[in-house]
Every structure is written in structure tokens, then in C-alpha cells.
Amino acid sequence: MHKYINSSATPQAPIGSSFGAGTTAEQVIGNLDLSGKIAIVTGGYSGIGLETARVLAGAGATVIVPARTPDKAKAAVAGIPRLELEALDLMDPASIDSFARRFLDSGRPLHMLVNSAGIMAAPLARDTRGYESQFATNHLGHFQLTARLLPALKQAGNARVVSVTSRAHRLGGVDLDDPNFIHREYDKWTAYAQSKTANVLFAIALDEKAKGQGIRAFAVHPGLIPSSGIGRFLEAEELGVKPVPEAQDVKHEQPAGSAGADRMKTVEQGAATSVWCAVSEQLAGMGGVYCEDVDLSEAVPAGSVQGSGVWPWAVDREIAEQLWTLSEKLTGVGFAI
């Protein structure tokens, strides 16, 4: 049996942020002034990505939102100040490189990269390389994008990379021998779980490798959000749980690990942890951790019936390093760290 290894410098345990499951992204931002800061939010034209982009821009940041079809995204982001739409297809390596090149050519630093785009429980599909679509979109595309944007993240001097993951990581780890379902039977949930586990492992490895360059990385489970758009492939009965009441006083919210983990969130609540990880001074000097309900989550044993918490195979540093090596091989892209 594999002995999972988590020796992260930042303990995988709640820090008592004073926020909780019902906190909204607006409440996280408060009066924070992000003037002069630059953010890229993938998936920033729908669901929690759109709310993340809206709140960051509302606080003064310039926000670049890449979209596969920018013309279709225009209506969703209309009226948001300081927001720029760009073309990017996470399933197309050439498109990723082109987007990154355009941004780097602008000479701007990148203070926040929120990798929020994703697909969930999709039928079997492959990109032109033969890579399974959920692994290619949710993990490999963002791996390549982050690598290409690394010079701008370094230029910022104090940057955050936020990878949106899911509690579904507990449905399975990464099959390092067959990540693209060439030899094993395809299952949409196994594939989704693999991609979401990969998001956490990427944050752990990136943080360890890049923290010396002033880049810190976080993985975020936003919560269960029926109106986010990511669940378009799901049957209605796969989405039925209870809503979280809106937070009236964020100082008295339920802590991570509470029964709130099984309740549905609004999009505004779902974006809160992404925004917190992107901007909060509470996280200064921290990174390489899985977060939920606007706090660091606790590490729980595999098989835990607790609604919150991260399972061992998603925070194993040895597996994170192996996945990093595999991802470099599959994408042909390395990080100049």
C-alpha cells in the first residue's frame, strides 16, 4: 500500500480565517484596493469564474478573461470595468502558446492567475494528441498555460496561482500509467476525479518549485454550485443537495469541516475561496495547500465520511512530483524555474 507523503511547509489545516461556507466573494474583498494589479481568470465569463473576474475588477484590478469564443463571452462580461477578452482554447496547445505570447508581449506583470475553467463528467472525447478531454482541459491545459506565463508571474514579484479543484478528487487519484484511458475503460467520474486530483497536486508541486521566485500556489474547492455551468453534462438527480444560507455575519460562519460542506452554494459564495486565495494577506508566506469554505482545509483519511477535507492522494508530494514529470512529457513544456 502506498504511504502518502505530505511534508508541505504550510500545514494542511484551517487557520481560522473568520470566514466560512456562506461567505461571498464581495465579503472577502471588502475594501481592498487592487488598482495596478493584473489578473487572468480562465473561465471568467461564466459561473464562479465570472464572479471571480467581476469582483477582482470591481476592486480595481485589470482582468484578462480568455475564452474559446470571445464573441460569445462578450454579453456575459458586458459592463465589467477593466476587463479584457482574449482568445484561448485549453485543448489546443498552439492556442495556449499564442495567448501567452500576446500577454507577455504586453510587458505587463501577472499578479494573479486563477485557473478556473473546467469541464465535468464529460462523455469520452480526445484532443488532437489523443489526450482525454477532462485531463487535457482541467489539468494539462492549465499546466502549459502557467508554464508559458511564468515570466510575467516572476515579474510581479509577489504572485498567486489559484487552481480550482473539487471535492470529487476523493473519487480517485491520478493513474500515472494510463491518464488518458487508453488501456482502461472510460468512466466520466473517474476521469473527472483524476483531473481534479491533478489540480491539487499541481498546486503543491508548483508552490514548492516557485515560492523562491515569489510565486505561491493554492488549490480551491469552491463548493457544490448547481448554477455554475460546469455541470451541464449531469442528470438532474446528480445535483440534489441543500443550499447554504447567505452569510449575515461572516465572523460567525460555520468552520471548514461542518455540515455546510454538503449544502449547495450560490455562485457568489462559490467564488469566495478563489478570491481569498488570490488576494488575502492572511495567506502571506503560505502555499501548496487545498482550501475550501474560505480557509485552509484539513487533511482527512481516505474513506472519511466527513463532507469537507482533502484526501491523502491529492496532497502527496511524491505523487505531485511524478505528475509534474509526466505533465512535462505529455505537453512538451517545461518550467524555467
Secondary structure letter of residue 213 according to DSSP: G
Which distant-in-sequence residues (6+ apart) come within 8 Å of 206 by Cβ?
Answer: 146, 161, 215, 217, 288, 335
Predicted confidence band of residue 337 (pLDDT cuts 50, 70, 90): confident
Please tell me the predicted confidence (pLDDT) of residue 254: 35
Residues of the chain with pLDDT > 70, as a percent, come to 87
Taking a C-beta distance cutoff of 8 angstroms, is the pair 65, 41 a contact? yes
pTM over 0.85: yes
Lowest-confidence region among 12-16, 136-140, 244-248, 319-323: 244-248
Cell of 217: 500556489
Q: Each residue of 100-127: pLDDT tens digit?
A: 999 999 999 999 999 999 999 999 999 9
Beta strands across the sheet bearing 289-292: 83-87, 62-67, 38-42, 112-115, 159-164, 215-221, 289-292, 295-296
Q: How far apart (Å, rounded) are the C-alpha atoms in residues 266 and 152?
A: 33
pLDDT band at 253 (very low <50, low <70, confident <90, very high): very low
Q: Is the pLDDT of residue 204 over 70?
A: yes
Q: In the predicted model, what is the mean pLDDT of residues 210-233?
A: 82
Calculate ∠ Cα 201-291-29, nearest 5°. 130
7 falls in which pLDDT band (50, 70, 90)?
A: very low
* Distance in angstroms (rounded) separating the CA atoms of residues 273 and 259: 17
pLDDT tens-digit map of 55-68: 999 999 999 999 99
Alpha helices in the chain (DSSP H): 25-29, 47-58, 70-77, 93-105, 133-134, 141-148, 150-156, 188-210, 267-270, 272-279, 317-331
Q: Is 88 helix (H, G, I), strand (E, B) or coil?
A: coil
Average pLDDT over residues 242-261: 37
Average pLDDT rounded to a whole number, residues 244-263: 40
Rounded distance between C-alpha atoms, residue 105 and residue 39, angstroms: 16
Burial class (CB within 10 angstroms; exposed 0-12, middle 13-18, buried 19+) of 237: exposed
Question: What confidence score (pLDDT) does residue 243 get?
Answer: 36
Q: What is the pLDDT of residue 262?
A: 60
The residue behind cell 508559458 is 148
Return d(Cα 233, Cα 127) in angstroms, integer: 18
Task: Check the CA dihedral 309-224-15-204 and report its sign.
Answer: positive
Average pLDDT, the chain: 90
Catalytic residue among 4, 45, 131, 192: 192
Q: Which residue has the higher pLDDT, 264 or 240?
A: 264
Residue 247 pLDDT exceeds 70? no
Q: Tens digits of per-residue pLDDT, 153-163?
A: 999 999 999 99
Question: Is position 192 annotated as part of the catalytic site?
Answer: yes
Greater model confidence, 210 or 3: 210
Burial class (CB in 10 A: 0-12, 13-18, 19+), 21: buried
Q: What percent of the chain has pLDDT over 90?
A: 84
Mean pLDDT of 73-79: 96
- Give me the mean pLDDT over the 38-56 stretch: 98
Q: What is the pLDDT of residue 226?
A: 80
CA distance between the termini of the chain: 33
Residue 256 scores a pLDDT above 60: no
> Per-residue pLDDT tens for 275-291?
999 999 999 999 999 99
- pLDDT at residue 219 tops 80: yes
Question: What's the mean pLDDT in 174-187?
Answer: 98
Do you know the residue count of the chain? 337
- Res 222: pLDDT: 97
**Which residues, 6+ apart, have CB-to-CB distance to 12 below 8 Å?**
6, 289, 290, 296, 297, 298, 299, 310, 315
Tell me the pairing of strands 289-292 and 295-296. Answer: antiparallel
Cell digits of residue 151 = 515570466
